[in-house]
Structure 1
Amino acid sequence: MSTVQFEMIDDYIGKLTLNRPEAANAFSKQLMHDFNEQLDSIEKHETLRALIITANGEKAFCAGADLKERRTMTQDQVVDAVGQISSLVTRVANLKVPTIAAINGATFGGGLELTLGCDIRIASTNAKMGLTETSLAIIPGAGGTQRLARLIGLAKAKYYILTAKRFDSYEGERIGLIEKVVELSELQDEALQIASQIASNGPVGVQMAKQAIDEGLDHDIETGLKLEREKYLNTIPTKDRLEALEAFKEKRKPIFTGK
Protein backbone atom coordinates (compact mmCIF):
# COMPACT_ATOMS: atom_id res chain seq x y z
CA MET A 1 0.00 0.00 0.00
CA SER A 2 1.24 3.48 -0.89
CA THR A 3 2.52 5.64 1.94
CA VAL A 4 0.70 8.61 0.36
CA GLN A 5 -2.83 8.31 -0.98
CA PHE A 6 -4.83 10.68 -3.16
CA GLU A 7 -8.57 10.67 -3.76
CA MET A 8 -11.16 13.01 -5.19
CA ILE A 9 -13.87 13.67 -2.60
CA ASP A 10 -16.11 15.17 -5.25
CA ASP A 11 -15.67 16.69 -8.72
CA TYR A 12 -13.57 19.59 -7.44
CA ILE A 13 -12.02 18.72 -4.06
CA GLY A 14 -9.12 16.32 -3.56
CA LYS A 15 -7.56 14.86 -0.45
CA LEU A 16 -3.95 13.75 -0.13
CA THR A 17 -3.28 11.57 2.92
CA LEU A 18 0.05 10.58 4.46
CA ASN A 19 -0.32 6.91 5.27
CA ARG A 20 2.50 5.79 7.52
CA PRO A 21 0.88 6.08 10.97
CA GLU A 22 3.07 3.38 12.51
CA ALA A 23 6.05 5.73 12.03
CA ALA A 24 4.22 8.99 12.83
CA ASN A 25 3.98 9.59 9.05
CA ALA A 26 7.65 10.57 9.01
CA PHE A 27 9.42 11.45 5.75
CA SER A 28 11.07 8.22 4.66
CA LYS A 29 12.57 7.81 1.19
CA GLN A 30 9.53 5.79 0.17
CA LEU A 31 7.06 8.35 1.47
CA MET A 32 8.80 11.14 -0.42
CA HIS A 33 8.82 9.04 -3.58
CA ASP A 34 5.10 8.28 -3.22
CA PHE A 35 4.30 11.90 -2.38
CA ASN A 36 6.03 13.15 -5.52
CA GLU A 37 4.22 10.57 -7.64
CA GLN A 38 0.89 11.79 -6.31
CA LEU A 39 1.89 15.40 -6.98
CA ASP A 40 2.60 14.42 -10.59
CA SER A 41 -1.07 13.46 -10.91
CA ILE A 42 -2.38 16.40 -8.90
CA GLU A 43 -0.50 18.95 -11.02
CA LYS A 44 -2.17 17.56 -14.15
CA HIS A 45 -5.67 17.22 -12.70
CA GLU A 46 -8.15 19.18 -14.78
CA THR A 47 -11.09 19.66 -12.40
CA LEU A 48 -9.32 20.03 -9.05
CA ARG A 49 -10.10 23.35 -7.33
CA ALA A 50 -8.92 22.73 -3.74
CA LEU A 51 -6.66 20.18 -2.06
CA ILE A 52 -6.75 18.96 1.54
CA ILE A 53 -3.49 17.53 2.91
CA THR A 54 -3.82 15.39 6.03
CA ALA A 55 -2.62 12.11 7.54
CA ASN A 56 -3.92 8.79 8.78
CA GLY A 57 -3.96 8.08 12.50
CA GLU A 58 -5.03 10.04 15.55
CA LYS A 59 -1.61 10.90 16.99
CA ALA A 60 0.56 12.37 14.26
CA PHE A 61 0.31 14.45 11.10
CA CYS A 62 4.02 14.17 10.33
CA ALA A 63 6.96 13.89 12.72
CA GLY A 64 9.37 15.26 10.12
CA ALA A 65 12.40 13.35 8.90
CA ASP A 66 12.60 9.64 9.60
CA LEU A 67 15.42 9.78 12.16
CA LYS A 68 15.91 5.99 12.18
CA GLU A 69 16.59 6.14 8.45
CA ARG A 70 18.60 9.35 8.87
CA ARG A 71 21.06 7.66 11.28
CA THR A 72 22.16 5.25 8.54
CA MET A 73 22.98 8.05 6.07
CA THR A 74 26.28 9.67 5.18
CA GLN A 75 26.60 13.45 5.39
CA ASP A 76 26.05 13.78 1.65
CA GLN A 77 22.96 11.57 1.84
CA VAL A 78 21.54 13.69 4.66
CA VAL A 79 22.03 16.85 2.62
CA ASP A 80 20.33 15.20 -0.35
CA ALA A 81 17.41 13.99 1.80
CA VAL A 82 16.81 17.46 3.23
CA GLY A 83 16.94 18.89 -0.28
CA GLN A 84 14.30 16.40 -1.38
CA ILE A 85 11.96 17.43 1.44
CA SER A 86 12.53 21.10 0.59
CA SER A 87 11.77 20.47 -3.09
CA LEU A 88 8.61 18.56 -2.15
CA VAL A 89 7.35 21.39 0.07
CA THR A 90 8.06 23.88 -2.72
CA ARG A 91 6.05 21.74 -5.14
CA VAL A 92 3.13 21.89 -2.71
CA ALA A 93 3.52 25.66 -2.31
CA ASN A 94 3.56 26.11 -6.09
CA LEU A 95 0.39 24.14 -6.80
CA LYS A 96 -2.11 26.24 -8.75
CA VAL A 97 -4.98 25.24 -6.49
CA PRO A 98 -5.28 26.32 -2.85
CA THR A 99 -4.13 23.81 -0.26
CA ILE A 100 -5.48 23.22 3.24
CA ALA A 101 -3.35 21.42 5.82
CA ALA A 102 -5.59 19.50 8.22
CA ILE A 103 -3.17 18.82 11.08
CA ASN A 104 -4.46 15.80 13.01
CA GLY A 105 -1.69 15.39 15.60
CA ALA A 106 2.01 15.86 16.24
CA THR A 107 3.82 17.76 13.51
CA PHE A 108 7.45 18.68 13.95
CA GLY A 109 10.40 19.75 11.81
CA GLY A 110 9.82 18.84 8.19
CA GLY A 111 6.22 17.96 9.00
CA LEU A 112 5.48 21.51 10.11
CA GLU A 113 7.48 22.81 7.14
CA LEU A 114 5.11 20.87 4.89
CA THR A 115 2.15 22.71 6.41
CA LEU A 116 3.98 26.02 5.91
CA GLY A 117 3.93 25.27 2.19
CA CYS A 118 0.13 25.09 2.33
CA ASP A 119 -2.14 28.11 1.97
CA ILE A 120 -4.33 27.47 5.02
CA ARG A 121 -3.68 25.49 8.21
CA ILE A 122 -6.28 24.10 10.60
CA ALA A 123 -5.48 21.77 13.49
CA SER A 124 -7.09 19.41 15.97
CA THR A 125 -7.09 20.22 19.67
CA ASN A 126 -4.64 17.38 20.37
CA ALA A 127 -1.99 18.56 17.91
CA LYS A 128 1.50 19.56 19.06
CA MET A 129 3.95 21.25 16.73
CA GLY A 130 7.23 23.07 16.39
CA LEU A 131 10.37 23.64 14.36
CA THR A 132 12.62 21.79 16.77
CA GLU A 133 15.71 21.34 14.59
CA THR A 134 18.07 23.45 16.69
CA SER A 135 17.57 20.97 19.54
CA LEU A 136 19.12 18.40 17.17
CA ALA A 137 22.05 20.74 16.36
CA ILE A 138 20.73 21.58 12.88
CA ILE A 139 18.32 24.17 11.46
CA PRO A 140 15.04 23.92 9.56
CA GLY A 141 16.17 23.02 6.06
CA ALA A 142 12.94 22.64 4.09
CA GLY A 143 11.89 26.27 4.05
CA GLY A 144 11.06 26.72 7.73
CA THR A 145 13.31 29.69 8.43
CA GLN A 146 11.86 31.56 5.46
CA ARG A 147 8.18 30.61 5.45
CA LEU A 148 7.59 30.85 9.20
CA ALA A 149 8.99 34.40 9.32
CA ARG A 150 6.75 35.42 6.44
CA LEU A 151 3.71 33.97 8.19
CA ILE A 152 4.11 35.10 11.80
CA GLY A 153 6.79 37.82 11.63
CA LEU A 154 10.53 37.98 12.12
CA ALA A 155 10.73 38.21 15.93
CA LYS A 156 8.24 35.42 16.59
CA ALA A 157 9.90 33.15 14.03
CA LYS A 158 13.28 33.66 15.70
CA TYR A 159 11.77 32.93 19.10
CA TYR A 160 10.20 29.63 18.06
CA ILE A 161 13.10 28.43 15.90
CA LEU A 162 15.96 29.44 18.20
CA THR A 163 14.30 27.99 21.30
CA ALA A 164 13.06 24.89 19.43
CA LYS A 165 9.85 25.40 21.40
CA ARG A 166 7.03 22.90 21.10
CA PHE A 167 3.54 24.39 21.26
CA ASP A 168 -0.09 23.36 20.96
CA SER A 169 -2.77 24.25 18.41
CA TYR A 170 -4.19 27.08 20.48
CA GLU A 171 -0.81 28.79 20.72
CA GLY A 172 -0.41 28.25 16.99
CA GLU A 173 -3.73 30.01 16.48
CA ARG A 174 -2.73 32.93 18.73
CA ILE A 175 0.46 33.59 16.76
CA GLY A 176 -1.30 33.44 13.40
CA LEU A 177 0.05 30.10 12.21
CA ILE A 178 -3.20 28.16 12.58
CA GLU A 179 -6.46 29.55 11.23
CA LYS A 180 -8.82 27.37 13.23
CA VAL A 181 -8.68 24.74 16.00
CA VAL A 182 -11.36 22.04 16.18
CA GLU A 183 -11.88 18.68 17.84
CA LEU A 184 -10.16 15.80 16.07
CA SER A 185 -13.55 14.29 15.20
CA GLU A 186 -14.49 17.52 13.39
CA LEU A 187 -11.19 18.17 11.60
CA GLN A 188 -11.92 16.51 8.27
CA ASP A 189 -15.40 18.04 8.05
CA GLU A 190 -13.97 21.49 8.79
CA ALA A 191 -11.29 21.06 6.11
CA LEU A 192 -13.97 19.94 3.64
CA GLN A 193 -16.12 22.94 4.48
CA ILE A 194 -13.26 25.35 3.79
CA ALA A 195 -12.37 23.50 0.60
CA SER A 196 -16.01 23.65 -0.51
CA GLN A 197 -16.12 27.41 0.04
CA ILE A 198 -13.02 27.81 -2.11
CA ALA A 199 -14.23 25.40 -4.79
CA SER A 200 -17.54 27.27 -5.13
CA ASN A 201 -15.72 30.42 -6.25
CA GLY A 202 -14.44 31.15 -9.74
CA PRO A 203 -11.44 28.82 -10.30
CA VAL A 204 -9.47 31.29 -12.42
CA GLY A 205 -10.13 34.09 -9.94
CA VAL A 206 -9.01 31.91 -7.03
CA GLN A 207 -5.82 30.87 -8.81
CA MET A 208 -4.99 34.43 -9.85
CA ALA A 209 -5.62 35.71 -6.30
CA LYS A 210 -3.29 33.07 -4.86
CA GLN A 211 -0.59 33.96 -7.38
CA ALA A 212 -0.97 37.68 -6.75
CA ILE A 213 -0.57 37.22 -2.99
CA ASP A 214 2.38 34.81 -3.26
CA GLU A 215 4.27 36.67 -5.96
CA GLY A 216 3.69 40.14 -4.53
CA LEU A 217 4.77 39.32 -0.99
CA ASP A 218 8.49 39.80 -1.54
CA HIS A 219 8.21 42.99 -3.59
CA ASP A 220 7.59 46.62 -2.76
CA ILE A 221 3.97 47.79 -2.87
CA GLU A 222 4.31 49.42 -6.30
CA THR A 223 5.58 46.19 -7.88
CA GLY A 224 2.97 44.21 -5.98
CA LEU A 225 0.17 46.38 -7.35
CA LYS A 226 1.48 45.85 -10.89
CA LEU A 227 1.46 42.09 -10.30
CA GLU A 228 -2.08 42.32 -8.96
CA ARG A 229 -3.21 44.16 -12.08
CA GLU A 230 -1.60 41.54 -14.32
CA LYS A 231 -3.45 38.77 -12.50
CA TYR A 232 -6.69 40.75 -12.55
CA LEU A 233 -6.47 41.21 -16.31
CA ASN A 234 -6.26 37.42 -16.68
CA THR A 235 -9.76 37.12 -15.22
CA ILE A 236 -11.43 39.66 -17.53
CA PRO A 237 -11.80 37.55 -20.71
CA THR A 238 -13.12 34.49 -18.86
CA LYS A 239 -16.61 33.06 -19.35
CA ASP A 240 -16.82 32.67 -15.58
CA ARG A 241 -16.69 36.45 -15.08
CA LEU A 242 -19.64 36.92 -17.43
CA GLU A 243 -21.45 34.02 -15.77
CA ALA A 244 -21.03 35.70 -12.36
CA LEU A 245 -22.59 38.92 -13.68
CA GLU A 246 -25.46 37.03 -15.29
CA ALA A 247 -26.09 35.00 -12.13
CA PHE A 248 -26.17 38.19 -10.05
CA LYS A 249 -28.73 39.66 -12.43
CA GLU A 250 -30.86 36.50 -12.27
CA LYS A 251 -30.46 36.17 -8.48
CA ARG A 252 -28.98 32.66 -8.62
CA LYS A 253 -25.71 30.97 -7.79
CA PRO A 254 -23.18 31.09 -10.63
CA ILE A 255 -22.07 27.90 -12.33
CA PHE A 256 -18.34 28.22 -12.87
CA THR A 257 -16.43 26.09 -15.36
CA GLY A 258 -12.91 27.45 -14.92
CA LYS A 259 -12.92 28.99 -18.39
Structure 2
Amino acid sequence: MQQQFLDAYDSQLRTAAEIAGASSTAVHGPLLLATFAGGRGFVTYAELGDVDADDVALLVDAAADHFLSLPDIAEVEWKTRGHDRAPGLHDALVDRGFVPEDPESIMIGEARLLAQQVDIPVQVTIRRSRTDDEVFAAGEMQGLVFDDPDWRSRAGDLVVRLREDPSTELWIAVVDDLVISAGRLQPVAGTEFAGLWGGATLPQWRGRGIYRALTAERARSALAHGIRYLQSDSTEFSRPILERSGLLKVSTTTPYVWTRPAG
Protein backbone atom coordinates (compact mmCIF):
# COMPACT_ATOMS: atom_id res chain seq x y z
CA MET A 1 0.00 0.00 0.00
CA GLN A 2 2.77 2.44 0.91
CA GLN A 3 4.55 1.91 -2.42
CA GLN A 4 1.24 2.27 -4.28
CA PHE A 5 0.68 5.63 -2.60
CA LEU A 6 4.23 6.77 -3.32
CA ASP A 7 3.97 5.77 -6.98
CA ALA A 8 0.71 7.70 -7.30
CA TYR A 9 2.31 10.71 -5.61
CA ASP A 10 5.33 10.70 -7.91
CA SER A 11 3.28 10.25 -11.08
CA GLN A 12 0.46 12.69 -10.29
CA LEU A 13 1.57 15.35 -7.79
CA ARG A 14 5.01 16.30 -9.05
CA THR A 15 5.97 18.78 -11.80
CA ALA A 16 2.87 20.12 -13.57
CA ALA A 17 0.56 19.80 -10.57
CA GLU A 18 2.99 21.75 -8.39
CA ILE A 19 3.36 24.72 -10.70
CA ALA A 20 -0.26 25.27 -11.71
CA GLY A 21 -0.87 28.99 -11.53
CA ALA A 22 2.75 29.95 -12.21
CA SER A 23 3.17 33.19 -14.13
CA SER A 24 6.10 31.73 -16.09
CA THR A 25 8.08 28.52 -16.29
CA ALA A 26 11.56 27.71 -17.57
CA VAL A 27 13.08 24.28 -18.18
CA HIS A 28 16.69 23.36 -17.49
CA GLY A 29 17.42 19.66 -18.00
CA PRO A 30 15.13 17.80 -15.57
CA LEU A 31 14.32 20.98 -13.62
CA LEU A 32 11.17 23.05 -13.84
CA LEU A 33 11.84 26.63 -12.69
CA ALA A 34 8.55 28.35 -11.93
CA THR A 35 7.83 31.97 -11.11
CA PHE A 36 4.76 32.93 -9.09
CA ALA A 37 3.11 36.24 -8.27
CA GLY A 38 4.50 37.96 -5.23
CA GLY A 39 8.14 37.40 -6.13
CA ARG A 40 8.29 33.69 -5.39
CA GLY A 41 10.31 31.13 -7.31
CA PHE A 42 9.94 27.36 -7.13
CA VAL A 43 12.11 24.45 -8.30
CA THR A 44 10.76 20.97 -8.91
CA TYR A 45 11.34 17.87 -11.05
CA ALA A 46 10.12 14.32 -11.52
CA GLU A 47 13.61 12.90 -10.99
CA LEU A 48 17.17 14.04 -11.57
CA GLY A 49 18.22 10.95 -13.50
CA ASP A 50 21.58 9.19 -13.47
CA VAL A 51 23.60 12.03 -11.96
CA ASP A 52 26.59 12.38 -9.67
CA ALA A 53 27.34 15.13 -7.17
CA ASP A 54 29.06 17.29 -9.78
CA ASP A 55 26.02 17.06 -12.07
CA VAL A 56 23.73 18.01 -9.21
CA ALA A 57 25.90 21.00 -8.31
CA LEU A 58 25.66 22.23 -11.92
CA LEU A 59 21.86 21.95 -11.81
CA VAL A 60 21.72 23.93 -8.56
CA ASP A 61 24.02 26.58 -10.04
CA ALA A 62 21.81 26.89 -13.11
CA ALA A 63 18.64 27.27 -11.04
CA ALA A 64 20.22 29.79 -8.67
CA ASP A 65 21.60 31.86 -11.56
CA HIS A 66 18.22 31.80 -13.31
CA PHE A 67 16.35 33.27 -10.37
CA LEU A 68 19.17 35.64 -9.46
CA SER A 69 18.77 37.14 -12.94
CA LEU A 70 15.09 37.90 -12.24
CA PRO A 71 15.09 41.03 -10.03
CA ASP A 72 11.46 40.61 -8.97
CA ILE A 73 12.14 37.24 -7.34
CA ALA A 74 12.66 37.69 -3.61
CA GLU A 75 12.52 34.06 -2.47
CA VAL A 76 12.99 30.64 -4.07
CA GLU A 77 11.99 27.23 -2.72
CA TRP A 78 13.70 24.04 -3.89
CA LYS A 79 11.44 21.20 -2.80
CA THR A 80 13.40 18.04 -2.00
CA ARG A 81 12.04 14.56 -1.32
CA GLY A 82 13.64 11.99 0.91
CA HIS A 83 13.15 9.10 -1.54
CA ASP A 84 14.86 10.84 -4.48
CA ARG A 85 18.31 9.89 -5.71
CA ALA A 86 20.15 13.22 -5.53
CA PRO A 87 23.82 12.82 -4.54
CA GLY A 88 25.33 15.93 -2.99
CA LEU A 89 22.12 17.95 -3.21
CA HIS A 90 22.18 19.24 0.38
CA ASP A 91 25.73 20.56 0.11
CA ALA A 92 25.13 22.09 -3.32
CA LEU A 93 22.02 23.93 -2.13
CA VAL A 94 23.67 25.21 1.04
CA ASP A 95 26.70 26.36 -0.95
CA ARG A 96 24.39 28.52 -3.10
CA GLY A 97 22.67 30.09 -0.09
CA PHE A 98 19.62 27.84 0.26
CA VAL A 99 18.62 27.21 3.88
CA PRO A 100 16.88 23.94 4.82
CA GLU A 101 13.63 24.21 6.76
CA ASP A 102 12.22 21.51 9.00
CA PRO A 103 11.53 18.18 7.24
CA GLU A 104 7.88 17.23 6.86
CA SER A 105 6.25 13.84 6.38
CA ILE A 106 4.46 13.14 3.09
CA MET A 107 1.19 11.58 4.26
CA ILE A 108 -1.28 9.83 1.93
CA GLY A 109 -4.49 7.88 2.48
CA GLU A 110 -7.52 6.66 0.58
CA ALA A 111 -10.50 8.96 1.05
CA ARG A 112 -12.91 6.03 1.47
CA LEU A 113 -10.90 4.76 4.44
CA LEU A 114 -10.62 8.20 6.01
CA ALA A 115 -14.37 8.90 5.95
CA GLN A 116 -14.79 7.50 9.45
CA GLN A 117 -17.37 8.20 12.11
CA VAL A 118 -15.61 10.08 14.92
CA ASP A 119 -17.23 10.96 18.23
CA ILE A 120 -16.74 14.60 19.26
CA PRO A 121 -18.12 16.80 22.07
CA VAL A 122 -21.83 17.53 21.54
CA GLN A 123 -21.31 21.30 21.51
CA VAL A 124 -18.98 21.11 18.48
CA THR A 125 -20.37 21.55 14.96
CA ILE A 126 -18.27 20.71 11.90
CA ARG A 127 -19.25 22.24 8.58
CA ARG A 128 -17.96 23.97 5.50
CA SER A 129 -17.33 27.70 5.98
CA ARG A 130 -20.10 29.92 4.61
CA THR A 131 -18.92 33.53 4.86
CA ASP A 132 -15.82 35.67 4.52
CA ASP A 133 -16.06 36.41 8.24
CA GLU A 134 -15.73 32.70 8.98
CA VAL A 135 -12.65 32.49 6.75
CA PHE A 136 -11.05 35.35 8.71
CA ALA A 137 -12.09 33.78 12.03
CA ALA A 138 -10.42 30.53 10.97
CA GLY A 139 -7.36 32.47 9.84
CA GLU A 140 -7.12 34.25 13.19
CA MET A 141 -7.30 30.93 15.01
CA GLN A 142 -4.60 29.45 12.76
CA GLY A 143 -2.46 32.56 13.26
CA LEU A 144 -2.69 32.06 17.01
CA VAL A 145 -1.81 28.37 16.79
CA PHE A 146 1.12 28.86 14.39
CA ASP A 147 2.26 32.21 15.86
CA ASP A 148 1.77 33.78 12.42
CA PRO A 149 1.56 37.59 12.51
CA ASP A 150 0.69 37.62 8.79
CA TRP A 151 -2.48 35.57 9.22
CA ARG A 152 -4.80 38.35 8.04
CA SER A 153 -3.20 38.64 4.60
CA ARG A 154 -3.22 34.84 4.25
CA ALA A 155 -6.91 34.77 5.15
CA GLY A 156 -7.57 37.49 2.60
CA ASP A 157 -5.79 35.45 -0.06
CA LEU A 158 -7.94 32.44 0.87
CA VAL A 159 -11.13 34.49 0.54
CA VAL A 160 -10.12 35.32 -3.03
CA ARG A 161 -9.16 31.72 -3.77
CA LEU A 162 -12.46 30.38 -2.48
CA ARG A 163 -14.33 32.80 -4.72
CA GLU A 164 -12.26 32.01 -7.80
CA ASP A 165 -11.96 28.25 -7.29
CA PRO A 166 -15.14 26.64 -5.96
CA SER A 167 -13.39 23.26 -5.76
CA THR A 168 -11.31 24.52 -2.81
CA GLU A 169 -13.15 24.14 0.51
CA LEU A 170 -12.51 25.43 4.03
CA TRP A 171 -13.98 23.25 6.77
CA ILE A 172 -14.37 24.53 10.32
CA ALA A 173 -15.28 23.23 13.77
CA VAL A 174 -17.37 25.73 15.71
CA VAL A 175 -18.49 26.14 19.32
CA ASP A 176 -20.86 29.05 20.03
CA ASP A 177 -19.71 30.87 16.87
CA LEU A 178 -16.03 30.45 17.85
CA VAL A 179 -13.88 28.62 15.28
CA ILE A 180 -11.82 26.12 17.28
CA SER A 181 -10.41 24.02 14.43
CA ALA A 182 -10.11 24.37 10.66
CA GLY A 183 -8.52 22.88 7.55
CA ARG A 184 -8.75 23.13 3.77
CA LEU A 185 -9.62 20.54 1.16
CA GLN A 186 -7.88 21.39 -2.10
CA PRO A 187 -8.45 19.09 -5.10
CA VAL A 188 -5.57 18.86 -7.56
CA ALA A 189 -6.91 19.26 -11.08
CA GLY A 190 -6.22 16.37 -13.44
CA THR A 191 -5.30 13.94 -10.64
CA GLU A 192 -6.96 11.53 -8.20
CA PHE A 193 -5.74 13.66 -5.28
CA ALA A 194 -6.89 16.40 -2.99
CA GLY A 195 -4.65 18.07 -0.42
CA LEU A 196 -5.38 18.52 3.27
CA TRP A 197 -3.84 21.85 4.23
CA GLY A 198 -3.86 24.47 6.97
CA GLY A 199 -5.01 22.15 9.72
CA ALA A 200 -5.05 23.64 13.22
CA THR A 201 -6.93 23.27 16.50
CA LEU A 202 -6.92 25.53 19.55
CA PRO A 203 -4.83 23.93 22.32
CA GLN A 204 -7.70 23.70 24.81
CA TRP A 205 -9.76 21.65 22.33
CA ARG A 206 -7.11 19.12 21.35
CA GLY A 207 -7.29 15.44 22.20
CA ARG A 208 -11.06 15.20 21.73
CA GLY A 209 -11.20 13.83 18.18
CA ILE A 210 -12.14 17.16 16.63
CA TYR A 211 -9.37 17.33 14.03
CA ARG A 212 -9.86 13.66 13.11
CA ALA A 213 -13.55 14.39 12.62
CA LEU A 214 -12.66 17.43 10.51
CA THR A 215 -10.46 15.18 8.37
CA ALA A 216 -13.27 12.64 8.03
CA GLU A 217 -15.71 15.32 6.83
CA ARG A 218 -13.21 16.49 4.23
CA ALA A 219 -12.77 12.88 3.14
CA ARG A 220 -16.53 12.52 2.64
CA SER A 221 -16.57 15.70 0.59
CA ALA A 222 -13.62 14.43 -1.48
CA LEU A 223 -15.44 11.16 -2.18
CA ALA A 224 -18.49 13.09 -3.34
CA HIS A 225 -16.25 14.78 -5.92
CA GLY A 226 -14.73 11.51 -7.15
CA ILE A 227 -11.37 11.96 -5.39
CA ARG A 228 -9.50 8.80 -4.44
CA TYR A 229 -6.47 9.97 -2.42
CA LEU A 230 -5.88 12.58 0.26
CA GLN A 231 -2.37 13.98 0.80
CA SER A 232 -0.71 16.29 3.29
CA ASP A 233 2.80 17.44 4.16
CA SER A 234 2.77 17.30 7.94
CA THR A 235 4.98 18.35 10.83
CA GLU A 236 5.98 15.87 13.50
CA PHE A 237 3.27 17.41 15.67
CA SER A 238 0.43 16.71 13.22
CA ARG A 239 1.76 13.44 11.76
CA PRO A 240 0.43 11.21 14.60
CA ILE A 241 -3.01 12.82 14.29
CA LEU A 242 -3.15 12.11 10.56
CA GLU A 243 -1.91 8.55 11.18
CA ARG A 244 -4.79 8.00 13.58
CA SER A 245 -7.10 9.23 10.82
CA GLY A 246 -5.67 6.59 8.47
CA LEU A 247 -2.95 8.35 6.46
CA LEU A 248 0.43 6.67 5.92
CA LYS A 249 3.85 8.28 5.85
CA VAL A 250 5.35 7.45 2.45
CA SER A 251 8.41 9.74 2.42
CA THR A 252 9.67 13.10 3.62
CA THR A 253 9.99 16.51 2.02
CA THR A 254 12.36 19.29 3.03
CA PRO A 255 12.04 22.79 1.58
CA TYR A 256 15.31 24.62 0.93
CA VAL A 257 14.73 28.36 0.70
CA TRP A 258 16.91 31.05 -0.86
CA THR A 259 16.21 34.67 0.03
CA ARG A 260 17.60 37.48 -2.09
CA PRO A 261 20.23 39.43 -0.14
CA ALA A 262 19.28 42.97 0.83
CA GLY A 263 20.64 45.66 -1.45
- Shorter chain as normaliser: what TM range? under 0.3
> Relative to total residues, which structure has the larger helix share, 1 or 2?
1
> Relative to total residues, which structure has the larger strand share, 1 or 2?
2
TM-score (norm 2): 0.27
TM-score (norm 1): 0.28
